[in-house]
Structure 1
Amino acid sequence: MNERRAAAWPPHSRFAVALTLALSLAGCNRFIGSPSHNTPVILISIDTLRSDHLPAYGYRGVATPNIDALRADSILYERAYSHVPLTLPSHVSILTGMLPADHGVRDNVGFRLADSVPTLQESLKKNGYATGAAVSAFVLRRETGIAKGFDFFDDNVEPMSGQSVNGQTVISRVQRDGAETLQAGQRWLDGQVGRPFFFFLHLYEPHTPYTPPEPYFSRYPNHYDGEIAFADAIVGSLIDDLKRRGVYDKSLIVLLSDHGEGLNDHGEEEHGIFLYREALQVPLIVKLPKSRKAGETVDTPVELVDVFPTILERTGTPVPKAGRRIGQSLLNFLNKGPIRPIYAESYYPRFHFGWSDLHSLIEGKDHYIRAPQAELYDLAADPAEKKN
C-alpha cells in the first residue's frame, strides 16, 4: 500500500484492519496451537515409499496399522512431491529446505553438502534443541555432509567385505535393518529426558533388494509390500516408545518418503532415472502437538522443501538467512493455499550413462517432463501418465 492510499484510510479503519488480522492469527493458533521451542520433533523417513502403496492413500495390498493410527492423529497431504528420485539429494532438500540446484547435491555419489549451507538440525540446535539421527543406508553416511548439526549421528552401516570377484571386493552391506537403526536412536533418546529434541529416523525399507524378514516375507508375495509392512512395524515400535516416554502427545511428528519406486509402471524397476508420478509422489503425514487437526486431508499439491519451514515455524525457530528457499509452511495449505509449480530433476542418467538429464514441473493437474521428447500429462484425467 503506498503512502497516498494509506493516508486515505481513516485511523479507526486502519485499526480495524489490524485488529481483524490479529484476531485471524489468534484464531489460527487456537486451532493449530502456538509455536513452542519446547516441542519435541520427530522426522521419520521411509525410503523409496510410493504413497499409492499405503492404505492411508487408498491401497489395499498391505496392512499398515501403525501408520494408519498415526494418520488418524495427523494431517495427510494427498499430493506431496519429491524433487529428485535419489536418496541423498532428496534428504538434503528435506533438511535444508532447498532445491538440488541451490544446495548443490545432485546425485548419491560424487557430491558433498557444503559446510556453508544451513541445515534444519543446525537451526534447531541454535534454538536449544538436542539433535540426533540414526540412518539405515551407507548413502547417507556422515562423509556426505548431511550429519552436520547433529549432536548424535549413528550411521553404523559400514560396508562389509564380501567375495572377491574379478579381483575386486564386492561390498555386501550398504544398508541395515531398520529395527537396528531404531535401537541406536532409542539409546540416544534415553539421554534426552526433560529437554527439547529433534530426532531424525531413516529407514531403508522398502528399498531393494526387497527381503523383508518373516512373517512379512511369506505373508506378502509382493515383497515390496512386505518391506512396507516391516517398516510399519518399526514405526509402531517408535510410536509406542514415544508414548512410554510421555512425549507422543506433545510432539510434532512428520512421516514422509524421499521418493517413490518405478515398479515397472514405465519400464523402470527401481528409481533414479525417470520423473513419472510413481517416482515423485510420496506420503506426507504431519502430527501436530495434541493431535490438532487430526484426520484432516489436504489435496493441494505440496513439496518436500515445505517440511523445513513447517518445523521451524512450529518450534519458533528463526529461518536462516543464508540460502535460497521456496518452501512454505505446510499449515498454510489447510485452507487450500496457492497452486505452485513443483520442480523435480534427475541427473542420474547423465552422470551414469551419458544420457540426457531430465526435469519436470507439476502445476495443479499438469505434469510437464522436459526430456529429449517432451511429455505432458493431465494428472486428473490420466493419473497413471499413459497418454502424452
Structure 2
Amino acid sequence: MQRIILTFTLILLSLVQLSCQTNDKTSILLIAVDELSVADVNCNQEQGAGSRSGFHLLCKESVRFTHAYTPSTLSVPTLSSVLTGLYPFQHKVRHNGGPGLAAEADLSSELAVRNGYRTSFFSGGAPVFRKSGLNQGFELFDDNIVPNFNSFFRPLKKTSAQFLQWLKHDAGSSPFFSILYAPDLAYTTTVTTTDLGETRNLSFESQVDEFDESLYDLLKQLKEQGRWDKTTVILVGLSGHNVEERSGELSTTNLHSENTQVALLIKPAQSKKRDEAIYWKIDQNVSLVDLGRTLYDLLGETNLDGDNSDFPSHSLFGVLKSPVAHWPEDRTILVESGWAAWRNAGPMKTAAISNHVLYINDEKPKLYNTLLDRFEVNPLPLLQESILPTTTKLQGLLRKYQFPAYIDPNSEWMTKMSLPFSRWMRADQEALLLRDLKRLSNNQPRSLDLLNWTAQIALNQKDWDTLKNLGTKNKITVWQYVGEKNLNIKNAKTSDACLTLLTMKELESSYLKECGDPLFLELIDWLRADVRGLSKETQRKKFERSFKNYMLDQEIQRANIAMGLTWDTSRDNTFAPSRVELALHLPELAKVRAQAYKALATIDEED
C-alpha cells in the first residue's frame, strides 16, 4: 500500500511540475502588416481621452526599433525570413510565387510545437497562402479567404475575431505562438467608417486609422482576458510604401528607405509586474532577419545554424531587457527584391546598408549618406572619400555573393506598371484609366498587355470607337465587330466560330466543337436551350454561376495589376475581354446582359 501511495505521489508531483512548466512559458503574438513603415507609427503623439489607438497601447510598453529593414520588398520572402532567421538568399524564397519555403527548412513555428506551444497562423489574403510553405509547424493555418466583388482580403478586424475564437476554444490556457498577416494598408480604395458611422475618405491614412482601431480592439481583448502580461506582442511592417512615386523606380523594386525601413515594436511578456513599463527605442540598424532569430530565442533556442559572418544576424532578446545594443553599428544588412526575376523583367535587385550608408547595386550604382540625406535624393560619388572604406566593403560583399548589378526593366514594363492603384481600383476613375491606357498603348504599340487592358476598359466604358479601332488596327475581328454593331455600322460581320452560334438555326455538334470556348458554350446552352433540347432555367443558373466565377477572376487579375503583379494568381495575368463579355454587349443581347450582370450581385445570396 505504501508503495502504491508513493508511486501515485510521484506521478502527481510530475504532473504538477509539468503544469508549472507549461504555465511558466509565455506566449508570442506577431502581427505582420504590409506597407507599414516606421513613419506610420508615431509614438510621440499625445492621445486624447477615449482614443482607440492600438499603436498608442503598444508604444507605452514596447521597445521600438527606429531603423528596422525588411530583407525583401515582397511579403512571402520576408515572412520566410521572420520564421527562419535567414536571409532570402539562404532560405531560397525570393518572390511570392512557387514553390515556396522548402519542407526541410527549420521554422520557429516547428520549434514552438516541439516545445509544447499551440500554434496558429491567420492570413488576411493574397499573397500569403498555404502554397507558400509558410504553413509548416502551424496546427491551424487559416487562409480560407473567399474573395468577392467588394473585397479581396480579410481585414484585421475579422482576422482578429478568428484568432480570438481559436484562442478561446483551442489554445485555452496553453502558451501559444501565433501570427496574424494583415494586407489591409495596401487596399486604399476600401471604404471604412468611424465609430460614429462617418465614412472616411479613400486614402492610405484612412486605412491606417481603421487598422489602428482594429489593433486597439485586439490588444484590449488580450488585456481583458488576462493574457497581455504573459504574451510577447510584436508589430512588424513587412514593407514600407511610396508616399510619392520615385522617378525611374517601380514600387516592387524600390530599395530606398521609404520602401524598406519598416515599423518594428516588441512588447515583451513579463512574468512579474515591473515598477515601470518598458518604453525605449533602439536606433541601431536591425533586419527582420534579426527578428527571426529573436523568435527562436524567445522559444528557448539560442544556438542556430546558418549564421553568416558577412551578413550577420543578431537576436534582439537582450534589448528587450536593457536599452543597450550589443551588435556593431557598421554591420552589413542586405535588402533585395526578386520581383523582376520572377516576372522575367530583369535580374534580382539588391542593396546593402552599413551604419548610415546605403549602396544600391544598380547597373549604375547609387550611394547615399542616409544621415545627411534623409530622403535619399542626392546620390554621392562612389569615390566619396569620407565613406570610401564602407563603400568598398559593401561592393566587395555583393560581388562575393555574385549578386548581379540590376538593370531596369525595359520601357514596356516601366510603362505598363506606371499607373497607381487608385486608378485601377476606383470606379469613379475608370474613365481616366481608359484615357491613360490609350496614351500608354500608343507609346508602346507592341505591348500585348497594354492592348488587352485598353480593350477591356474600353468595353467596360462602352467606348465603341476605341474598341473598334483597336480591333481594326490589330486585326482582332471580334473587337471590331462588337464595336461596329454598337455604332450601328451597316454590314458588320464576323466569322468567329463562337459568335456565329448565336444566330445559327441548326446547332450541329461539329459547329459546337469549332468554338472551343467552354464559357461561351454554356451561354449558348442557355440562350439556345430550345434548339439544344435542354432546360432553359437549369442552363441559365449553370451559366450565371460560371460567369460569376469568371468575372470574379477578372477582378482579381485587375487587382493584381493594380498591386504591381505581386500575386501568384491561378492563371496567366491576362486581363482582356472574353467572347462572352463581348457577346453580352451586342445590342440584340441587351436584356440577356442585364440579367447576367444582375445575377452577379444576387448569386451569393442564393448560395
TM-score class normalised by the smaller sequence: 0.7 to 0.9
Are 1:287 and 2:267 an aligned pair? yes
What's the offset of the Cα at 1:111? 3.2
2:171 to 192, 195, 198: 192
Change over 3 Å in CA distance of 1:357–1:59 after alignment to 2: farther
**Contact 1:89 1:108 (C-alpha < 8 Å) held by counterparts:** yes
Instruction: Work out the CA distance in 2 between the residues paired with 1:363 and 1:59.
Output: 33
Q: Which residue among 31, 43, 47 is the counterpart of 1:56?
A: 43
Give, in whole Å, the separation in 1 of the partners of 2:146 and 2:64.
35
Aligned to 2:236: 256
The equivalent position to 1:85 in structure 2, one of 73, 92, 102, is: 73
Once the two structures are superposed, residues 22-47 of structure 1 have per-residue CA deviations (whole angstroms, 9 ceiling, x without a partner) of xxxxxxxxxxxxxx961011111121
CA deviations over 1:209-267 (Å, ceiling 9, x no partner): 44241139977657111111111112111111111211101211111111111232414
Whether 1:225 and 2:211 are equivalent positions in the alignment is no
Match of 2:340 in 1: 349
Corresponding residue of 2:251: 271
Aligned length: 340
Counterpart of 1:327 in structure 2: which amino acid?
A: S
1:330 aligns with 2:302: no
For 1:81-230, list aligned pairs within 5 A. 81-160=69-148, 174-190=152-168, 191-215=170-194, 221=201, 223-230=203-210
Residue 29 (structure 2) aligned to one of 38, 42, 63? 42
The CA distance in 1 between the partners of 2:45 and 2:370, in whole Å, is 17
Task: Give the aligned residue type for 1:208.
Answer: Y
Question: Scaled by the length of structure 2, what TM-score is found?
Answer: 0.53
1:95-115: CA deviations, max 9, x gaps?
Answer: 111111111111112331100
Structure 1 length as normaliser, TM-score? 0.81
Measure the CA separation in 2 of the matches of 1:336 and 1:343. 19
Whether the aligned pair in 2 keeps the contact of 1:219 and 1:226 (CA below 8 Å) is: no
Secondary structure at the aligned position of 2:181 is classed as strand
1:288 offset after TM fit, Å?
A: 1.1
1:317 match: 301
Deviation digits for residues 191-214 of structure 1, max 9, x if unmatched? Answer: 222211111111112013442411
Specify the SS of the correspondent of 1:200: strand
State which drifts further: 343-352 or 217-226: 217-226
Structure 1 position 151, deviation (Å): 0.6
CA distance in 2 between counterparts of 1:330 and 1:183 reads 30
- Runs of 4+, deviation exceeding 6 Å: 57-60, 216-219
| 8 A Cα contact 2:191 2:202, kept in partner | no
- Secondary structure of the residue aligned to 1:206 is helix
Fraction of identical pairs, as percent = 25
Conservation of the 8 A alpha-carbon contact between 1:37 and 1:315: no
Q: 1:218 to 1:49 in 2, by over 3 A?
A: farther
**Structure whose alpha-carbon radius of gyration is higher:** 2
Which segments of 5 or more consecutive residues in structure 1 lack a partner in the other structure?
A: 1-35, 163-171
Rounded Cα–Cα distance in structure 1 between residues aligned with 2:245 and 2:42: 19
More deviation, 329-338/264-273: 264-273
Partner residue, 2:361: 370
Counterpart residue type for residue 379 of structure 1: T
Separation in 2, partners of 1:327, 1:361? 14
* Deviation larger for 217-226 or 304-313: 217-226
CA distance in 1: counterparts of 2:280 and 2:98, whole angstroms: 41
CA distance in 2, matches of 1:359, 1:152: 34
Q: Report the AA paired with residue 258 of structure 1.
A: L
The answer to whether the 8 Å contact 1:342/1:362 transfers is: yes
**CA separation of 1:375/1:37 partners in 2, compared to 1, >3 Å: closer, same or farther?**
farther
The 3 A distance-change label for structure 1 pair 158 and 221 is: closer
* Alignment partners' CA distance in 2, 1:320 and 1:298: 24
Q: Please say if residues 191 and 200 of structure 2, whose CA atoms lie closer than 8 Å, have aligned partners that are also in contact.
A: no
Cα-to-partner distance string for 1:278-303 (whole Å, 9 max, x where unaligned): 11000110111238661111101111
Cα distance in 2 for partners of 1:268, 1:232 equals 32
Which structure dedicates a bigger proportion of its chain to helix? 2
